[in-house]
Structure 1
């Protein structure tokens, strides 16, 4: 592998959470000296921060939060594909929890293909699509309105979650970083996501390839030991870092491995 290509792959690996020299050596099949030299070069370019025994992602300044309309216009075809992949995980009669976001709203558009669902959500943009679920039931989590995302949050939402449990929770995020979790624009969003995860038997994170390894915001929700990543990404180096963090990858492609 050429040096420039290897360093780009190593940068992707570090951004996704593979931060130890030993792990990078094993993953790329190169010596410790080579890994340290590559990390040093990436650090000189300001792309990573050297640490004792490896490197970590350089967390840049917080990005401006997109408006709801801007979110809707981005990656629309990919969100529809992720919604179809997510639908394959849903069975008749299950209880689901839908987080805020346009990607989870795309899933709401598909749920009429299942019967007898009970859907709980704080995602107000998803309600129109959930209005005619076959033999279904919809529960809206109350709370304070967060206008940029048209979601509810706060004490009432947490109180409602404390009285339910669900089979699956489907989440989106501004970024997904292995070893760190899901990043969001506000602490209230991050705390509510954590509460949602605690009430669900299974977590499904819906994130297109541009969000993987992206630390675009400064508030974080940790991920559980076992979870599912629904994505269009096909970069095995990047995806392996998430597998190492307990993720089952669902991208519609054949599974790789021995």
Structure 2
């Protein structure tokens, strides 16, 4: 499995450099034509490439939506995921929050809790700065207005100088065995630094993002992590994640209660 993932990444790199022919890809990687065709089919199924006669080309990245426009997409699913994620947070913890509309929904549910929050999510700064029970640390860096977050070397440096009990990530898409994808390498670099500094990693992704590979920058998730998704996810979408070692899947209830029991969701991680 690991060798296959490495080979698929090599295929993507070769296609990006201009090698699009099946025969040439097989020659460069020293594998059979049938192996390359199977690899290309898997990459095509996830949306990473588009098959052509005799080869493949990289799929065009999907246009990135602004934070304000994403907030109203799959709203009920995001609220359910946020409720489930909030129940996984214990008072007194240091929590690292990424950008994204689902993570923002989680932040709104944490504002009355007693926590230390570290975030690059500028949309949450006004929420937490008014709280008397939240100790807030904001990661400096370059502001990326489309996602209302900070990124870049300064943000990465700050993250590497702290630790967190739990990290809650957002993503444009997530593919089992490949990781999560975003529009830019800058976003991925900061997420990687966050993952390295967190005691536990949670990815908040509604069902529309499962198997979605329409952005060009990737972060492999090589450590244990938890996917928190909504009840709209099909078994076909979930099965590849359940099959991965070190990955836990939490399904948010279709009609979440206002305050899910933390014990019930913690039990799901055991």
Which TM class, normalised by the smaller chain length? Answer: 0.7 to 0.9
- 2:23 match: none
Corresponding position: 1:56 with 2:42: yes
- 1:222 match: 220
Q: Describe how 1:53-202 pairs up with structure 2 within 5 A.
A: 55-58=41-44, 59=48, 60-115=59-114, 117-202=115-200
Query: For the Cα contact (< 8 Å) 1:111–1:133, is it kept in 2?
Result: no
Query: For the Cα contact (< 8 Å) 1:62–1:217, is it kept in 2?
Result: yes
RMSD, aligned CA: 2.1
Secondary structure of 2:60's partner?
A: coil
**In structure 2, what is the Cα distance between the partners aligned to 1:150 and 1:136?**
21
**In structure 1, what is the Cα distance between the partners aligned to 2:168 and 2:69?**
21
Q: State how many pairs are aligned.
A: 207
**In structure 1, what is the Cα distance between the partners aligned to 2:131 and 2:241?**
33
**In structure 1, what is the Cα distance between the partners aligned to 2:222 and 2:166?**
13
Deviations 1:157-214 (CA, angstroms, capped at 9, x unpaired) = 0111111000011011000001111100011001111110000011100000000000
**In structure 2, what is the Cα distance between the partners aligned to 1:237 and 1:221?**
23
Aligned with residue 231 of structure 1, among 229, 232, 238: 229
- 2:18 match: none
- 1:31 match: none
User: Alpha carbons of 1:126 and 1:91: their partners in 2 closer, same or farther (altered >3 Å)?
Assistant: same
Secondary structure of 1:93's partner?
A: coil
Secondary structure of 1:51's partner?
A: helix
Corresponding position: 1:244 with 2:243: yes
Query: For the Cα contact (< 8 Å) 1:112–1:134, is it kept in 2?
Result: no
**In structure 2, what is the Cα distance between the partners aligned to 1:165 and 1:252?**
27
**In structure 2, what is the Cα distance between the partners aligned to 1:67 and 1:141?**
20
